[in-house]
């Protein structure tokens, strides 16, 4: 094999990215390391630590051929000439910038490990999403080495979305590679480009300077999230008028300048990136003395929080202002369909609010129950977790749909209705069910941004 690539951080980003890279580049040896031994053991087993459609096959093809998972970070650093860094960069919870800025301690520690154990020059690639100009700070740390080694820093942000990680990685819209405009920086960029050229057409590889690359990642996520908050804000207006958010989104989306994607109203965006990246952007703007710009982007997060709160108020208002001791069936806990990931899932907020109202929660999700249990571990209250949707809904007063899992559409709602308390409610926080059909079965149905289908009279309500 020509060269060894190392990736530090075997999480949702590092694991799938490197698996696809190894699969497409049999002439490279790809080592993925992580300090978390349990995670590495899982990557080496038949039960991978994350659920992603298609990932099992890719890992099976490449593992132990040219893809290796290990906890030996030091050996990896010594061997590789190209190091991708994909450690997590959570929002700072302490000190300056708490609640907004990124906590870079893992990144910095990784940079110091690289210096300590390197014996020859290396290319260090930022895969983690980082605040703009982090690369500069990292370059300074790496160049401070007293061994006379050269480290080139490359920014190569990852744009894959969870649930579609494998196809996104195999056929990306673009691969972005940012480098310093120095001879050595440009050479390093070419070496990273050569890797991607194994499977990505050249016209899809965009090269920029370092700062543009870092900023593009933050802004891409902020723009995507902004579309969701825009459409969610309008869903509130639709409920006050006779407009239907599905029709409004479809009509808007037909304008090719707007485009049809990412206009689905729901209970709000979750996931590890959107909120964190927007808050990073906000912090950056404040830091550079641009309060108006900061306030503009912060509003995207505020509308997201408003949407979840508004949804819970809708549940309460329509269930006679009380859910205390009532069983509520939660359908879906993952932050989106086709993943077991629950980071920043709006389901966490909604569940906690319902527990505060003393509801009894029965939670059903095809992939996320393990994470749901961890997320709600500190909550007091009556919570149960179920693989079976019918058990979840048995004796419940309401079903609350929080994730857009396709299989929810195929459940036998006639059977479910019969097993529930009456009046039976469905609050469809993702607008995925057939509302008219459910109404005919006897449910009182409350979608988002659309008319409700209720059998209750005005007086009862």
- For helices 14-24 and 55-62, give the axis angle rounded to 10 degrees: 50
Q: Annotated catalytic residue: which of 7, 273, 285, 387?
A: 273
**Token pair of 224, please?**
């995507």
Q: Which stretch binds ligand UDX (CB under 6 A): 6-14, 55-63, 356-364, 409-417?
A: 6-14
Q: Which residue, 302, 310, 263, 262, is CA-closest to 279?
A: 302
d(CA 202, CA 125): 19
Q: Which is nearer to ligand UDX, 375 or 394 (CB)?
A: 375
- For helices 291-318 and 274-287, give the axis angle rounded to 10 degrees: 150
With CB under 6 A as the contact rule, the residue among 24, 66, 89, 216 that binds ligand UDX is: 89
Q: Which stretch binds ligand UDX (CB under 6 A): 2-10, 92-100, 288-296, 316-324?
A: 2-10
**Token pair of 238, please?**
């639709």
Residue nearest ligand UDX by beta-carbon distance:
11
**Token pair of 450, please?**
């659309």
Contact flag: residue 215 with ligand UDX (CB under 6 A): no
Interface positions, 261-280, toward ligand UDX (CB under 6 A): 262-264, 266, 269-274
Q: Is 371 exposed, middle or buried (0-12, 13-18, 19+ CB in 10 A)?
A: buried
The full 3-state SS of 261-330, as one line of letters, equals CCCCCCCCCCCCCHHHHHHHHHHHHHHCCCHHHHHHHHHHHHHHHHHHHHHHHHHHHHCCCCCCCCEEEE
Contact flag: residue 306 with ligand UDX (CB under 6 A): no
d(CA 299, CA 223): 12
CB of 73 to ligand UDX, least distance (A): 7
- DSSP single-letter state for residue 198: T
Q: Which is nearer to ligand UDX, 106 or 417 (CB)?
A: 106
Using left for φ > 0, alpha for ψ between -120 and 50, and beta otherwise, residue 134 falls in alpha
Contact flag: residue 222 with ligand UDX (CB under 6 A): no
CB of 50 to ligand UDX, least distance (A): 8
H or E stretch covering 439: helix 435-441
Q: Which is nearer to ligand UDX, 128 or 213 (CB)?
A: 128
Interface positions, 235-264, toward ligand UDX (CB under 6 A): 262-264
Interface positions, 106-125, toward ligand UDX (CB under 6 A): 106, 109-110
Q: Which stretch binds ligand UDX (CB under 6 A): 87-95, 116-124, 419-427, 439-447?
A: 87-95
Contact flag: residue 159 with ligand UDX (CB under 6 A): yes
Contact flag: residue 151 with ligand UDX (CB under 6 A): no
**Token pair of 49, please?**
């630590």
With CB under 6 A as the contact rule, the residue among 6, 12, 393, 425 that binds ligand UDX is: 12
Interface positions, 325-344, toward ligand UDX (CB under 6 A): 335-336
With CB under 6 A as the contact rule, the residue among 86, 216, 226, 351 that binds ligand UDX is: 86
R_g (Cα) of the chain, nearest Å: 24
CA 281 to chain centre: 17
Q: Which spans in 119-164 are helix H? A: 134-143
With CB under 6 A as the contact rule, the residue among 5, 58, 83, 87 that binds ligand UDX is: 87
d(CA 87, CA 33): 10
CB of 83 to ligand UDX, least distance (A): 12
| 285 is known as an active-site residue | no
Q: Residue 150: helix, strand or coil by DSSP?
A: coil
With CB under 6 A as the contact rule, the residue among 4, 24, 66, 88 that binds ligand UDX is: 88
Binding mask 167-186 for ligand UDX (x = CB under 6 A): --------------------
Contact set with ligand UDX (CB under 6 A): 8-14, 34-36, 39, 86-89, 106, 109-110, 127-129, 158-162, 221, 224, 228, 262-264, 266, 269-274, 335-336
Residues designated catalytic: 273
């Amino acid at each position: 094999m020509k060269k060894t690539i190392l990736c530090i951080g075997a999480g949702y980003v590092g694991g799938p990215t490197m698996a696809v890279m190894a699969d497409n580049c049999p002439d490279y040896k790809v080592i993925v390391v992580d300090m978390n031994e349990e995670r590495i053991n899982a990557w080496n087993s038949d039960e991978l630590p994350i659920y992603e459609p298609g990932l099992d096959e890719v890992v099976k093809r490449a593992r132990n051929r040219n893809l290796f998972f290990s906890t030996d970070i030091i050996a990896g650093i010594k061997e590789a000439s190209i190091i991708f860094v994909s450690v997590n960069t959570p929002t700072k919870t302490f000190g300056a910038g708490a609640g907004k800025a990124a906590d870079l301690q893992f990144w910095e520690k990784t940079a110091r490990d690289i210096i300590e154990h390197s014996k020859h020059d290396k290319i260090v690639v930022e895969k983690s999403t980082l605040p703009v100009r982090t690369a500069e700070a990292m370059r300074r740390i790496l160049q401070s080495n007293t061994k006379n080694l050269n480290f080139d820093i490359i920014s190569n942000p990852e744009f894959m979305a969870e649930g579609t990680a494998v196809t996104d990685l195999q056929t990306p819209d673009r691969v972005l590679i940012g480098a310093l405009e120095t001879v050595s920086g440009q050479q390093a960029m070419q070496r990273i480009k050569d890797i991607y050229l194994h499977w990505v057409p050249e016209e899809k590889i965009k090269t920029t300077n370092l700062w543009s690359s870092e900023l593009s990642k933050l802004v891409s996520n902020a723009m995507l999230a902004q579309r969701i908050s825009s459409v969610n804000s309008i869903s509130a207006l639709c409920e006050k008028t006779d407009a239907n958010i599905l029709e409004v989104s479809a009509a808007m989306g037909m304008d090719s300048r707007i485009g049809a994607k990412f206009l689905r109203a729901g209970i709000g965006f979750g996931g590890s990136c959107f909120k964190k990246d927007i808050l990073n952007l906000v912090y950056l703007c404040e830091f550079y003395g641009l309060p108006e710009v900061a306030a503009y982007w912060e509003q995207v997060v505020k509308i997201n929080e408003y949407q979840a709160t508004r949804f819970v108020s809708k549940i309460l208002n329509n269930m006679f202002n009380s859910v205390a001791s009532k069983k509520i069936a939660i359908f879906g806990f993952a932050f989106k369909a086709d993943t077991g990931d629950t980071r920043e899932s709006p389901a966490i907020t909604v569940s906690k609010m319902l527990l505060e109202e003393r509801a009894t929660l029965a939670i059903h999700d095809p992939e996320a129950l393990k994470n749901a249990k961890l997320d709600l571990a500190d909550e007091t209250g009556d919570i149960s977790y179920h693989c079976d949707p019918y058990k979840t809904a048995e004796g419940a007063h309401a079903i609350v749909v929080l994730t857009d899992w396709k299989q929810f559409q195929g459940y036998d709602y006639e059977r479910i209705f019969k097993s529930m308390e009456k009046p039976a409610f469905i609050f469809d926080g993702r607008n995925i069910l057939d509302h008219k059909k459910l109404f005919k079965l006897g449910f009182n149905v409350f979608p988002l941004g659309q008319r409700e289908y209720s059998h209750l009279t005005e007086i009862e309500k």
